[in-house]
């Protein structure tokens, strides 16, 4: 009896909550949506986020305005969303870094699993190792020989501790057993001019930003961190073919909203995202950059959340063994 009473009470209490959620979604969005990209303009997160935002704007009937909040390897931008109003008008688009940050930052001001709502996964993206165009050598083997001689005289760039490029760079250093001089930027956007100018020797980043520069011979793509060659860049050998076995790094992306964003609002955002990643122009561009959209069964809040949790657990021991922490 007591159980029945409790159940009735819970049901009565949840009705206004559900009604409020449904009401919030009905009018949603009532104003422009801010999409926080936690990196500088011009990098892969920015480029793909803007592409998706255009279609989502059409779908949602409100502009989706990108705001770049770089710094702290992406943590400053993520925290901005964690602190934002949870009405769906502020969302986050970011990469795998959100799963490595809880290990790299022992005093991280948020927990991605409890302070954010997942909206859906977006794209898996391969990583490519690139060298400055005036590097004295054309292959990964050339670079490895050079690095063994120069060691910390090699400049490796990353987009900050907790970024995808930092993860790839950390794994590269661990695989070679060499600590390079790492130079951190607020995103890939500012790194490429430095690489092209020869001030950075090596950079491991996503195909979505690197491939156009490799194709234009403005940087030298020497190895893909993938199991097999990509049809979009078949001239670039895999890391294993190039002399670095078992070097495979797979990056992924997703959309988030602050904790407590009503579920109907999350569903509306998810529906817009699903349209965006099926848009023919978006699909063609993503495929050309070797970053095809996720299959639709992964573009759900539940699949995204389960994957995020698995990724946090997957990377923790690997990063702890690599021993690079922010604090």
Of 60, 159, 249, 303, the one binding ligand MLT (CB under 6 A) is 159
Stretch that binds ligand MLT, among 156-164, 175-183, 277-285, 303-311 (CB under 6 A): 156-164
Site for ligand MLT in 225-284 (CB under 6 A): none
d(CA 66, CA 275): 19
Beta carbon nearer to ligand MLT, 168 or 269:
168
d(CA 130, CA 47): 19
d(CA 81, CA 263): 17
Of 90, 103, 155, 163, the one binding ligand MLT (CB under 6 A) is 163
Of 75, 165, 207, 300, the one binding ligand MLT (CB under 6 A) is 165
Of 29, 71, 97, 112, the one binding ligand MLT (CB under 6 A) is 97
Question: Is residue 206 within 8 Å of residue 126, measured between CB atoms?
Answer: yes
- Tally Cβ neighbours within 10 Å of residue 296: 13
Q: Where do runs of H (alpha helix) occur along the chain?
A: 2-27, 44-60, 75-82, 97-104, 112-115, 140-150, 164-176, 191-196, 207-215, 263-276, 280-288, 301-322
d(CA 63, CA 39): 20
B/e letters for 281-292, b = 16+ CB within 10 Å, e = fewer, are: ebeeebeebbbe
Of 29, 189, 237, 264, the one binding ligand MLT (CB under 6 A) is 189
For residue 35, the minimal CB distance to ligand MLT (Å) is 13
Stretch that binds ligand MLT, among 55-63, 159-167, 270-278, 305-313 (CB under 6 A): 159-167
Stretch that binds ligand MLT, among 39-47, 142-150, 176-184, 218-226 (CB under 6 A): 39-47
d(CA 327, CA 302): 32
Stretch that binds ligand MLT, among 120-128, 183-191, 241-249, 255-263 (CB under 6 A): 183-191
Residues that bind ligand MLT (CB under 6 A): 39-40, 43-46, 95, 97, 159, 163-165, 187-189, 205-206
């Amino acid at each position: 009896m007591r159980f029945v009473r409790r159940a009735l009470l819970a049901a009565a209490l949840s009705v206004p909550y559900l009604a409020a959620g449904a009401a919030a979604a009905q009018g949603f969005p009532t104003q422009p949506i801010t999409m926080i990209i936690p990196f500088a303009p011009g990098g892969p997160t920015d480029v793909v986020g803007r592409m998706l935002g255009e279609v989502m704007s059409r779908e949602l009937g409100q502009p989706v305005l990108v705001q770049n909040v770089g710094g702290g390897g992406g943590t400053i931008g993520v925290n901005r969303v964690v602190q934002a109003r949870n009405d769906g008008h502020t969302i986050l688009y970011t990469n795998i870094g959100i799963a490595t940050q809880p290990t790299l930052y022992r005093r991280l001001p948020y927990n991605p699993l409890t302070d954010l709502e997942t909206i859906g996964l977006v794209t898996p993206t391969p990583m490519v190792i690139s060298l400055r165009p005036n590097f004295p050598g054309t292959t990964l083997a050339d670079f490895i020989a050079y690095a063994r001689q120069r060691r910390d005289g090699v400049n490796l760039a990353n987009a900050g501790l907790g970024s995808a490029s930092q993860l790839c760079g950390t794994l590269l250093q661990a695989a070679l057993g060499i600590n390079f001089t790492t130079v951190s930027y607020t995103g890939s956007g500012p790194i490429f001019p430095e690489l092209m100018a020869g001030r950075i020797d090596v950079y491991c980043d996503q195909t979505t930003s690197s491939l156009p520069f490799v194709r234009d011979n403005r940087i030298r793509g020497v190895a893909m961190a993938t199991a097999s060659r990509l049809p979009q860049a078949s001239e670039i050998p895999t890391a294993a073919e190039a002399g670095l076995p078992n070097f495979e790094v797979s990056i992924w992306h997703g959309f988030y909203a602050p904790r407590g964003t009503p579920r109907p609002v999350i569903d509306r955002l998810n529906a817009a995202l699903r349209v965006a990643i099926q848009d023919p122009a978006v699909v063609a561009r993503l495929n050309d950059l070797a970053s095809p959209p996720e299959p639709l069964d992964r573009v759900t809040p539940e699949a995204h959340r389960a994957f995020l949790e698995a990724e946090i657990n997957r990377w923790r021991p690997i990063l702890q063994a690599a021993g690079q922490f922010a604090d």
